[in-house]
Structure 1
Amino acid sequence: MALEYAMHGHFSVKFDVFSYGVLVLEIVCGQKNCYFSSGENMEDLLSYAWKNWREGTASSMIDPALRASSTAEIMRCIHIGLLCVQENAADRPTMASVILMLNSDSRALSVPSRPAFFMDSIVESDTSLDRSFQASTNEASITELHPR
């Protein structure tokens, strides 16, 4: 679900673009968009895809069932998927642009930035979460906050 809807209830024409990007990444990686184990870490699909893209190891996350396909085409799909899941809806392409990107190998793609729900972004940029986190004084219990 797009961040602007999940957090604020705002719906935009870019809502479907976000969902499409998640779907593309799920297909290419062969993983659902939920927490899964990648090595010794538990992370969500968007964080996993972003880290691999940033580190230049995106080809390692391709589902083995797709290995016979063109790696260049699959890497382009990962790139487009990451563009579709940008945190700011204004930074996401329109579906018309996505279709053009998929149909044209010569069209240059912009560099994606961190996707919505990137786990490190919450820790690095949102200090309000630290203030709302409640723990008992003896640290015997912790209140876990859940979105609605």
Structure 2
Amino acid sequence: MSPEYAMDGVFSVKSDVFSFGVLVLEIISGKKNRGIFSVEPSLNLLSYAWTLWKDGKALELLDSSISSNSNNNLQIMRCIQVGLLCVQDRQEDRPHMSEVVLMLNSLNTSLPEPKQPVYFSVRDASDMESSSSCTVSDITVTVIEPR
């Protein structure tokens, strides 16, 4: 689910692009976006893919059932990069689907560097302890029913 839809209930054409990016990364990795990775318990798929990308180890995202060789590594890296471009935080930074199709079909098209995905969250125990706060609000809800 795109961040603008999850947070504000706003759906746009870039919401589909976000979902497509998640799907691409799920297919490449063979893992679902939700859930926790045993490699690093505080990472979801998007943050795991982002961490590998930034560390120059993006091919480690590849599912073991997909054969990897030097001939298709360029295509795999391109798919990971396109997936990360699609899941960028700001919808203005995400490409349109027509651009995604062009990026995937043309190896000659240069791609911009992706920015950090919105759901990138690495937390350790100290972060969780220091950020726990609670706000209590008194709210009254009135339901009007017809006679």
Alignment of 1:1-148 (within 5 A): 1-68=1-68, 70-120=72-122, 130=131, 133-134=133-134
Q: Which runs of 4+ in 1 moved over 6 A?
A: none
- Measured against aligned partners, the alpha-carbon deviations of 1:109-134 in whole angstroms (never above 9, x if no partner) come to 000010011114x99xxxxxx4x832
Contact 1:35–1:42 under 8 Å retained in 2 = no
* Aligned amino acid, residue 133 of structure 1: S
Three-state SS of the structure 1 residue aligned to 2:37 is strand
Contact kept? 1:87, 1:116, Cα under 8 Å = yes
Q: Distance in 1 between matches of 2:77 and 2:16?
A: 21
- The answer (yes or no) to whether the contact 2:42–2:121 under 8 Å persists in 1 is no
Q: Which runs of 5+ in 2 are unaligned?
A: 125-130, 136-147
How far off is 1:54 after superposition? 0.3
CA deviation after TM superposition for structure 1 residue 40, in Å: 4.5
Could you list the per-position Cα deviations for residues 77-99 of structure 1 after superposition, in whole angstroms to 9, with x for gaps in the alignment? 00000000011000000000000
Indicate the structure (1 or 2) with the bigger Cα radius of gyration.
2
Tell me the TM-score normalized by structure 1.
Answer: 0.79
Please give the TM-score of this superposition, normalised by the length of structure 2. Answer: 0.80
SS class of match (1:20): helix
State the alpha-carbon separation in 1 of the partners of residues 4 and 40 from structure 2. 31
Q: Deviations over 1:34-86 (max 9, x none)?
A: 12223242321000000000000111110011124611111100000000001
Identify the structure with the greater strand proportion.
1
Mark the runs of 5 or more structure 1 residues left unpaired by the alignment: 124-129, 136-148
The aligned residue for residue 126 of structure 1 is none
Q: Distance in 1 between matches of 2:8 and 2:42?
A: 27
> Which letter does structure 2 place at the counterpart of 1:42?
S
